[in-house]
Amino acid sequence: MKSNKIALAAILLWIVTIAVFAWFFIRGNTVAGTDNRTAVVLAVGERELILSEMRSLLGGVQGILDSLNHGDMKQAASAARVVGMASAVDVNPALMAKLPIPFKQLGMSVHSDMDGLALAAESGKPAAELQTMLTATLSKCVACHASWQLKAGN
């Protein structure tokens, strides 16, 4: 009887622990933001890393548009490739755990779109089609910025 109770308590504790981990994994390290968005709380260096990734994304968009304007598909492909999935793989696990799941999904989907753009440029798709693809990707940038803030904390 007593050992049954201990077993039950152990199982309950196990479930609670898993639930807490799952909750943090989905939610990431977030607090209410200062402007109706949700703030992801990161260490100073982690925030700077993400922001520098953001500036690369903006540079990528500029590079792609500039290349398309000059009809240089090779250049467009390489500008997109620079900000593709390969640029996101080395983000460390501790930082990844602080990012909420929807944030990671949107971020990864932007990088994967950039690889898609590179492929489309390499395979000779017309510039208008690439612009349409880039516009769809930019709406993901806008959507993410509308929901999330980055805050330096712990």
- Does residue 88 touch ligand HEC according to CB under 6 A? no
Segment 104-133, which members bind ligand HEC (CB under 6 A)? Answer: 106-107, 110
CA–CA dist 3, 9 (Å, integer): 10
By CB under 6 A, is residue 57 in contact with ligand HEC? yes
The site for ligand HEC, by CB under 6 A, has a size of 18
Rounded to whole angstroms, the Cα distance separating 77 from 67 reads: 9
Structure tokens at 108: 């990864």
Cβ at position 123, least distance to ligand HEC in Å = 21
Q: Burial, 28: exposed, middle or buried (Cβ in 10 Å; 0-12, 13-18, 19+)?
A: buried
- Residues forming the site for ligand HEC (CB under 6 A): 51, 54-55, 57-58, 61, 103, 106-107, 110, 137, 140-141, 144-145, 148-150
